[in-house]
Amino acid sequence: MIRKKAVVLFLLLIFIIPQIVWAGLPDGIPDSIPDASAKLSVLKFDNQPIQPASALKVEMTKANFALHTDAVTGIQKLRLVVDVTGPVQASAVMSDTAQEPQLIVKVNGASIGKMDESLDLDGNIAKTVNFTRIDDSSSQLMIKLPAALEDTDYRVFTLPSDADAGRPYRVVVDMNKPGLMPNSTPVKLDKRPVQPSPAKKAEMTKASFAIHTDAVTGAQKLRLVVDVTGQVQTSSSIVTAPEPRLMVNIQGASVGRLKQILALDGNIADQVKFSRIDDTNSQLIIDLPGMLEDNDYRVFTLPNDVKANRPNRVVVDINKPVAPVVFNFAPGLKGKVIVLDPGHGGSDPGAIGLNNITEKAVTLPIAQKVKALLEKAGAKVVMTRQDDRDVFGAGASAVEELSARTNVANKIKADLFLSIHANAFSNRSVGGTSTHYYLKSRYDRLLAECLQSSVVAADGLTDRGVQAANFYVVKRTLMPAALIEVAFISNPDEEKLLNTPQFQQQLAQGIVTGLDSFFLQAAKIGGAK
């Protein structure tokens, strides 16, 4: 009997238990172990990507707040700023289900890191904020309030990192002092949905603007106020082409009998056009003299104020943008001062191809060939680097290195700046040419378009188009600037081409043709010198 039990146990160990264990493992396990020298980026089980444990996770690092008083309205505001190590998304909702009102701000994409669990606030506008974990990459700010806030009393938004100013990514929460606004009376809101009257549709009735100077910073601001006969909702965005514009969508109001166009100051904003979307939705199209950053404008609504005889209002605040440089170009390359920036160099190899060709090793000879052709046409050419070196010097930070490159062009007041790069992507079959710009003036996109069309015609690669970008070297230069990604060094075929003098010469000729085309078209826009 004992012998039979032993045999049964032996069979279980050999056949049944391994099948149970194997059945519990996920599908898709490879039949062999990959070579240890293989470069691993993402591991996959059940077709779901799992990021490597070494990947850096975005987290909160610091929180602080300050109180401000609006110089125009006199309304007090608390600004809470939370620093994060990477880009995130934030949304907010008021909650009055707890024992006290709370503003709940959800931050998608960041953990609370090593933050303290709570931060005491001013006690007047907000009491405390508690930092709570949702999961490994999401968190919540639970802001306790002395009184509930209306939708118009708070604003949550994110700000990108600003390497030049040494500022990280940030989540910003603005809260107005709860309770009555100056010269206002309390209005009890019925929580039941309000049915719109078919006889009376909300419409715009009046538009006006004023220029204000901030009492603290001295910065100028334009405030555009549009009166409406009912409650509305707004959204806004910046458009870069064909000209910089701030687009404000107004849901719930027609343009009424407003004049189609209102001329503004011409300094901060040129004009606003009132455009109909449909019977109950409209749009403000605000023409700008230069580009705005996300934190350079604010769009919000104000409720009607019976005591002060003020209607519902849509308010648009616009900070004074950096004044664009005025250019007057003549056609032709002769006499033009052009700065060429071969990407990377020295301690920074840039992207590296499958055959170990580095980006810095191909951008320099391309730039040198461009220089020779430009000088032959009579242009004066300055290179940010003539050989394999860091422009700023050894041990420089990324910002120091990039600013050293833009300083070369800014100090000599060059007519044009061009940074030459090679692209890279994880999918090695991707290839082509693209050109990037930052819209500082009417010429930046034109420069990118001229370069893109001529270089694609010369190299025969996929046309990946022109794209607006926030690259430091095209943003911080004072003249028209572009950054061209001539080909993908990560694509083995294009990597081989990039390493040949013949293809480098083709690219150089395409670039010079594009620059010549740019000056010809720019002269038609701005006139001759």
Which residue numbers are catalytic?
A: 485
Cα gap 136→62, rounded to integer Å: 18
DSSP per-residue string spanning 244-285 = -EEEEEEET-B-TT--SEEE--SSS--EEEEEEEETTEEEEE
DSSP per-residue string spanning 308-340 = TTB-EEEEEEEEPPPPPPP--PPSSSTT-EEEE
Dig out the tokens for 382 from the structure: 């300055």
> Which amino acid, residue 223?
R
- Sign of the Cα torsion 326, 330, 333, 337 reads negative
Q: At what angle do helices 501-526 and 442-459 cross, to 10 degrees?
A: 150
Which among 467, 336, 470, 345 has a CA at the least distance from the CA of 409? 336
> What is the helix, strand, coil percentage profile of the chain, to 5?
20, 35, 45
* Backbone φ, ψ for residue 389 (5° rounding): -150, 165
Burial class (CB in 10 A: 0-12, 13-18, 19+), 382: middle
Cα gap 317→53, rounded to integer Å: 44
Cα gap 410→480, rounded to integer Å: 11
Half-sphere exposure of 355 (CA within 13 A, CB side): 13
Cα gap 425→353, rounded to integer Å: 10
Which among 433, 432, 436, 462 has a CA at the least distance from the CA of 448? 436
Cα gap 529→524, rounded to integer Å: 11
